[in-house]
Structure 1
Amino acid sequence: MRDVLTDSDLRLQFAGHETFPLRLLWLKKAFDAVAYHGADRRTFQEQSAIAQFGVGKNMALAMRHWAIATGMLAEEDGSLVPTHLAWLLLDNRAGLDPFLEDPSTLWLVHAALAGTPEQSTTFFFAFNTLNQAVFDRGGLVEAIHDLAKMRGARATAETVKRDVEVFLRSYAPRSGDAGEDAAEPLLAELALISESRLSGQFEFVRGPKPNLQDGVFALVLKRFWARWHPDAPTLSAEQASYGAGSPGRVFKLDEDSVMARLAKIGDVTSGAIIWTDTAGLRQVSMTRKLDTIDDNALITSSYPYRRAA
């Protein structure tokens, strides 16, 4: 498959977070401000942001960045609006997980960052393009800076270095951080990246991910299929496991775990996608168009306790 970062006109982004990783309550604060108090993009830029959000101006800008990058807020005609996903998850009365306590919410947030190159290029590159399981900070910076130069992106080596540091701290926070930086990043709980304190190297943690619900897996498979293979009636098991943007890559699932989830995909999608494993042919097929699969139903099915209540 073509390299989606080099062989396309995708916009690359390596800044906007003001060097702050995504923190636990930032998405909820940003959503509440826009949904219930009429905040707009200027609100996050003004000195009043300190009183509005309880953080400094730069952190408020980071909150806005992460809310947009994770698909909770969108910019429309110069204004900020909550997305349907944000209402579904974060609404005070009917939201599935207003305070981001359920692992499914963390997986959805992670999938938005690791699966969307335009908003968080470093996240996408690391999870989908970097092939080695063990890597170091310097090597990742060099690889991404080479990409930026090849694409003619306006990103200095220092900009990329800061972006890589934010990426790493989003999943493997530094033990010596103090103050606001000591607050555990939202995505650290997923344990997707581990750091060796002795060697300074990082490692992706591959495996079955027991707290990843099948509905979230199916949603990412659908998005991967619709975006990168829109005309293909089938996807091979290899594509679902190793393709850039695939659930296997985004969630760092081992191949056996991907196969086990694909075997259940018909039940999860009400038969819209079915699994075939016969005569050495392992693939998923569409029985009807992908846009007939209800994203809301996939997400809601991933909150079984909330749904039962």
Structure 2
Amino acid sequence: MRNVLQDPATKVQFAGHETFPLRLLWPKKAFEAVRGGAPLRTFQEHEAIARFGVGRNMAVSMRHWNIASGLIEEREGLLWPTALATEILDDEGLDPFVEHPATIWLTHWHIASTPEMTTTPFYAFNALPGVDFDSEGLASELLRLVQERGWRATRVTVKRDVEVFLRSYVRRTGALTEDAAEPLLAELGLVREARIGGWFEFMRGPKPTLPDGVFALALDQFWQRTGGDSMTLTAEQVTYEPGSPGRVFKLDEDSVVTRLMALDAITDGSWSWTDTAGLRQVHRRHQPDWLGLLTRSYGRMAEAA
């Protein structure tokens, strides 16, 4: 995972959002549009303006973000909601109108933990050294990678992607318009403007609104990507490796360890934590129940089968 952006097989993308950040109402609107399966051009047709109440470019952006968020997938030539989307966004689901922090944290995890559709957020959260950065520096680092790897992306495209990344995650101080409050991911407070003009900083540390269930779901996906056959992961891997919960959620090491120590209870014994002779690890006994973890993230217990 360390060199995922150096892997020739890795797919990257710096466009698709049509310069719009992900907005609060989009997950539910997109879910309803594809609930029973929808043509691939559903978000691109002229009817999209009436269907979604937005312009065509914004409808295309809606499609992009919902696929990147793990809420929509292409299957058998149609667009469908994922199992995750159905559990959350159905009218009787866990959070149909995206009012719970768990939904936003899950959305962020899907966007920032892999580079395939959202390369700039992945790079920013997983590869930038330190906590401070400026937009020009971030764009320059990405352009260097584009040149080294031979990816197809222009300077204008990359710089625009960086702008959308910042508009997605940074809550603008002093903004009073309704539109300024709309970007969904800014609610997490993961990135803020620094005192020095043009600079930004990641807010690293404990995340009180991040449910333990969401952390466990993210850890499960990270575990599968980094070596699903391994029965153990170290605290250092979970904290510092690119694509890890520690990196993506900007958790410090103590916060990660605190959450790892709670995994036995959270996963009903599927995972356990050990700290022996300085070797701090989480052990996997068997695969946890993802639906149980999801429902616990919203303060509910899974219904008995």
TM bucket (normalised to shorter chain) is over 0.9
In the TM superposition, 1:89-100 aligns within 5 A as 89-92=88-91, 94-100=92-98
In the alignment, what sits opposite 1:295? 290
Q: Which TM-score applies when normalising by structure 2?
A: 0.94
The answer for the alignment partner of 1:68 in structure 2 is 67
The aligned counterpart of 1:84 is 83
* 2:52 paired residue number: 53
Structure 1, unaligned stretches of length 5 or more?
Answer: none
Which residue, out of 262, 269, 283, partners 2:281?
Answer: 283
Question: Cα offset for 1:223?
Answer: 0.8
Amino acid in structure 1 at the alignment position of 2:299 = P
1:71-92 per-residue CA deviation (whole Å, 9 max, x = no partner) reads 1110123321111011000001
After superposition, what is the alpha-carbon deviation per residue over 1:96-146, rounded to whole angstroms, capped at 9, x for unaligned?
A: 000000000000000000112112111111111112200000010011111
Distance 1:18 1:182 in 2: 17
The correspondence of residues 169-248 of structure 1 with structure 2, limited to 5 A, is: 169-174=167-172, 181-196=179-194, 198-248=196-246
Q: 1:39: Cα distance to partner?
A: 4.0
Q: Which shifted more, 114-123 or 59-68?
A: 114-123
Instruction: Give 1:40 deviation, angstroms.
Output: 2.6
3-state SS in 2 of match to 1:45: coil
Deviation at 1:177, TM superposition (A): 7.5
**1:9 maps to what in 2?**
9
Match of 1:42 in 2: 41
CA distance 1:241–1:75, change in 2 (3 Å): same
Deviation string, structure 1 residues 45-87 (Cα, Å, up to 9, x no partner): 1222111111001000000111111011101233211110110
Q: Which amino acid aligns with 1:167?
A: F
Q: How many residues align?
A: 303
Query: What is the TM-score normalised by the length of structure 1?
Result: 0.93
CA contact (8 A) 1:90 1:98 kept: yes
2:129 equivalent in structure 1? 131
Q: CA deviation at 1:297?
A: 1.0
Deviations 1:15-53 (A, max 9, x none): 1000000000011101111116x6433121122211111
CA contact (8 A) 2:192 2:202 kept: yes
Kindly report structure 1 stretches of 4+ aligned residues shifted beyond 4 Å.
Answer: 173-181, 305-308
